[in-house]
Structure 1
């Protein structure tokens, strides 16, 4: 009987070690944010984000270093957007308020992908109406394209002969941390609560 118990003990130990191996398989133990990530990014987080140069609501040229001075939620859209952009940016603003209640200061950032119509004043008013701390950015077509490419976003304007033309664009929100860069993205169907919870996890792990 003693031998049988010994065999069973070895079996249980092996099963436990196998379970731990499966649970940790593919996990990067060097990633300080591993417990917070909910999405897989082709090429890793370092493949998204990077330097940009845009124009703020005051008409000043600013860089990513000027803008991302604290954890930031970045969204690419346009002020003439009839539904998606206002809803997404309002949700981001709600998440920012939730985070502030928890003691986490996060900056909401809105980058226009419609520089022909979105002047610094227009994008500034749009941002201010959604949140008092939201930063609105625009720029030349070249500056906007560079920022979009850095974050791998998509946008394409429809027929511009119509002054009310629409712009097709991706709708991700990007979480960017000072000193770390891009760490996570959120989709349209993610709630303000989910964004706030995940963002807080990343901030706590900094």
Structure 2
């Protein structure tokens, strides 16, 4: 947590993943825009949908300035979150939300660069869930880490942080 709060180590970095339409994507594809980067999985029962809803609301409240922000949802469950499932999931939140997936090693490398904790946990009676930290990372247009929003941050709170950055 200290690393995220006080930028004691680099946060973020290069990634090579695939978007919900099957197109190869790297971090360089999003240069020139502020990024809201969120890690989760489509079968998450609570925090992922709540945070994605708030990100979507923030984009709506930004109006024309929303074009300066690119929201990214990176799955931590590529086994279940195939392209069609990912496409359907992100479309339910906001048309500009990009879903990213990839090989487990590529996702692990990306999550590690963001200092994100996650692990697959067996569920009673079979199946599994994915425990994970739930931060919304804010990156500047050059890919530099600016800070994070903790789980449950409202769209209105996001705006108080985003607007000054977008005005620069």
**TM-score of the pair, normalised by structure 2:** 0.89
Question: Is the contact between residue 156 and residue 168 of structure 1 (CA under 8 Å) also seen in structure 2?
Answer: yes
1:118 aligns with 2:85: no
User: Counterparts of 1:189 and 1:90 in 2: how far apart (Å)?
Assistant: 10
Match of 1:131 in 2: 94
**Residues 93-148 of structure 1: CA deviation (Å, up to 9, x unaligned):** 111111125x3422221000011111122112111111011000011101100110
Q: Report runs of 4+ in structure 1 exceeding 4 Å deviation.
A: none
Unaligned runs of 5+ in 2: none
1:158 aligned residue (112, 115, 121)? 121
Q: How far is 1:43 from its partner?
A: 1.0
1:41 aligns with 2:6: yes
Match of 1:6 in 2: none
Question: Is the contact between residue 104 and residue 200 of structure 1 (CA under 8 Å) also seen in structure 2?
Answer: no
Q: How far is 1:162 from its partner?
A: 2.6
Q: How far is 1:171 from its partner?
A: 0.4
Match of 1:79 in 2: 42
Match of 2:167 in 1: 204
Question: Is the contact between residue 12 and residue 113 of structure 2 (CA under 8 Å) also seen in structure 1?
Answer: yes
**Alignment RMSD (CA, Å):** 1.8
The aligned length equals: 163
Question: Is the contact between residue 124 and residue 137 of structure 1 (CA under 8 Å) also seen in structure 2?
Answer: no
Q: How far is 1:69 from its partner?
A: 4.4
Q: Which has the higher strand share?
A: 2
Larger gyration radius, structure 1 or structure 2: 1
User: Counterparts of 1:116 and 1:180 in 2: how far apart (Å)?
Assistant: 28
2:157 aligned residue (168, 171, 194)? 194
User: Counterparts of 1:104 and 1:60 in 2: how far apart (Å)?
Assistant: 23
Q: How far is 1:50 from its partner?
A: 0.5
Match of 1:14 in 2: none
Match of 2:131 in 1: 168
1:99 aligns with 2:62: yes
Match of 1:30 in 2: none
Unaligned runs of 5+ in 1: 1-38
User: Could you say what secondary structure the match of 1:166 adopts?
Assistant: strand
Higher relative contact order (CA 8 A, sep 6+): 2
